[in-house]
Chain A
Amino acid sequence: MAQKTLLNQRDCAVTISRLCHQINEVHVPWDRTVLVGLQPRGAKLLKALVAQLEAEFATGPVANGLLDITFHRDDFRRREEPLAASPTEMNVLIEGKRVIIIDDVLYTGRSVRAALDALGDFGRPERVELCVLIDRRFSRELPIQPDYSGRRVDALNHERVRLNWSGSTLESVLLESPEYAPKR
């Protein structure tokens, strides 16, 4: 397995900090914004963003929730592996709010499509934006693009982007390529 480092620890800190600046610029004052992390892998990024926003941008408590999209996915009964669900913790109101969906990697866009559907179960937001740490370009299967992205990456379909978290700190982002590309 070949590995390439996309972001080292310093890059990670700089990137998350930049995302916070960009989000804050659009969303100040913070009374109408809700951050929603996608389970399972968007949860840690959500926590990191919320912590940094609250600590460095005088946002006050940032309303946030975790959304599981399992039951809204479009590949139910179409894959070998059954889907796994994670808890949804949406103890916030999103009706009329400005929602930012937070996820780690944007790839085909299908998770985000499902998330938009799932979000609708909790109310009608005024506006929905998308923030991802890694945007895999040229691999979209749906017309979905991020509003905030940490790093754009060109990756082949059989390659994987992996985020290494140590507790609540993002240590590195790697691009992993298997020796043999699976047949498509």
Chain B
Amino acid sequence: MPQNAKLQSRHLLGLQHVPAEDIQLILQWAGHFKEVINRPIKRVPSLRDLTVANLFFENSTRTRLSFELAEKRLSADVVNFSASTSSVKKGETLNDTVSNILAMKVDLVVIRHSEAGVAHFLADRVPAHVVNAGDGTHEHPTQALLDAFTMQERIGSLEGKKVVIVGDILHSRVALSNIFGLQKLGVHVAVTGPSTLIPRAISELGVEVIDSLDDALEWADVANVLRVQHERMDRAFFPSIREYHKRYGITMDRLNRLKQVPLILHPGPINRGVELTSEVADSPYAAILNQVENGVAVRMAVLYLLASQSAPQNVV
């Protein structure tokens, strides 16, 4: 058990370059924090001398709430920023926005942006620890970590297990982070979905492409079903929602035909009746609400481990 290990990186920008031990460490600490958030008083004082800025340049409900809750449960001071109500509208550049926020002495920055690489850009320029909460179609590391944590909780060790990612792979930062993270934990990862939504180079990542959803579900221990991201589609990638649902939507009928039903995950928000029917989403096969609960614990672990790397300033 790497009980005493420290994270090797100052930031959490993506899982591509995070070593497997760091992922294990975060998952292990998430277990401790899950116990904390099930206590009668769900708050510990660890980060009470720290300030966290949540910079959301792109809309988000659950990720933002989850981060905010994680920060508050660690007793950090929290400042929130959302692009729609800020000076970004007045034409301020990212660099200026960020330097202004940092002049307010922020220790950790959680950032979501519609452009890939913004978290990296920030990490090179600011003294704070940076956590990527989703950058364009690039990565969403904490989502992948909470997916892995939820899988581990439901089916045990992930070594040698099989996970299929279903749907809109092309526009999904969740898919990419899942692939990088799960492979480091020894998981066989496959993808399935309309061929227009599968990036051509995906096999270079060591990912298998399965054409039929039924074959994929039969093969897998876990199906991570992605949301169809209409907002990122600049043209028609499939003929109609109905057609999509017919070929790649998960229904009870489909699951009932399987020898063994895989665990169903979905990063939310669900398009009910598109990727999943309501019946499946609300069935015991789905761990969607577990994912939401675990999200807070995983984010607490990430923030705590990053914060533990730097000593408090201006104390002596």
In the complex, the answer to whether B32 meets A76 with C-beta atoms within 8 Å is no
A/B interface sample: 22 pairs, CB < 8 A: A68-B32, A71-B32, A71-B74, A71-B304, A72-B45, A76-B46, A77-B311, A78-B312, A82-B4, A82-B6, A84-B3, A85-B3, A87-B31, A87-B32, A88-B32, A88-B35, A120-B41, A121-B39, A121-B43, A121-B44, A122-B39, A122-B41
B308 at the interface (CB under 8 A from A): yes
B40 CB contacts on chain A under 8 angstroms: 121-123
List chain B positions with a Cβ less than 8 A from chain A.
3-6, 29, 31-32, 35-36, 39-46, 49, 74, 304-305, 307-308, 310-312
* Chain A residues with CB under 8 A of B304: 71
- Residue interface bits A89-119, CB-to-B below 8 A is 1, else 0: 0100000000000000000000000000110
Beyond A72-B46, A77-B310, A122-B40: 11 further Cβ-contacts under 8 Å? A71-B32, A71-B44, A71-B46, A72-B44, A77-B311, A82-B6, A82-B305, A82-B308, A88-B32, A90-B39, A121-B43
Are the CB atoms of B45 and A117 closer together than 8 Å? yes
- A85-B307 in contact (CB<8A): no
Interface presence of A70 (CB below 8 A): yes
Q: Are A77 and B307 in contact (CB under 8 A)?
A: yes
- Given A76-B308, A77-B312, decide whether A70 and B32 contact each other with a Cβ distance below 8 A: yes
A residues in contact with B39, CB < 8 Å = 90, 121-122
Q: For A70, list chain B residues within 8 Å (CB).
A: 32
Q: Is there an interface contact between B4 and A71, defined as CB atoms closer than 8 Å?
A: no
Q: Smallest CB–CB gap between B141 and chain A, Å?
A: 20
**Pairwise interchain contact A84-B41, C-beta atoms closer than 8 A:** no
Q: Which residues of A contact B3 (CB under 8 A)?
A: 84-85
Q: Chain A interface mostly helix, strand, loop or mixed?
A: loop
Chain B CB within 8 A of A153 CB = no
A20-55 interface code vs B (CB 8 A; 1 in, 0 out): 000000000000000000000000000000000000
Number of interface residues of A (CB under 8 A): 21
Q: Is B44 touching A85 in the complex (CB atoms < 8 A)?
A: no
The answer to whether residues A85 and B29 also contact, given A76-B308, A77-B308, A77-B311 and a CB cut-off of 8 A, is yes
> CA separation between A102 and B41, bound complex, in Å?
22
Residues in B neighbouring A122, C-beta threshold 8 A:
39-41
Closest residue of chain B to A117 (Cβ to Cβ) is B45
Interfacial chain A residues near B43, Cβ < 8 Å: 121
Distance A88 CA – B5 CA, assembled complex (angstroms): 20
- Provide the residues of chain A in CB contact with B311, threshold 8 Å: 77-78
> How far apart are B106's CB and chain A's nearest CB, in angstroms?
16
A141 interface residue per 8 A CB criterion: no
Could you tell me the distance in whole angstroms from the C-beta of A79 to the nearest C-beta in chain B? Answer: 9
Does the CB pair B36–A71 fall under 8 Å?
yes
| Contact residues in B for A71 (Cβ distance below 8 Å) | 32, 36, 44-46, 74, 304
A118 to B32, CA, bound (A): 14
Report the minimal beta-carbon distance from B99 to chain A, rounded to whole angstroms: 25
Which residues on B sit within 8 Å (CB–CB) of A87? 31-32, 35
How far is A72 from B40 in the complex, measured between Cα atoms in Å? Answer: 16
Min C-beta distance of B85 to chain A, whole Å = 33
Report the separation of the CA atoms of residues A90 and B304 in the bound assembly, to the nearest whole angstrom: 22
A14 contacts B by Cβ under 8 Å: no
Task: Give the residues in chain A near B32, CB-CB below 8 Å.
Answer: 68, 70-71, 85, 87-88
Chain A minimum-CB-distance residue to B46? A71
Contact of A121 among B4, B41, B49, B74 (CB under 8 A): B41
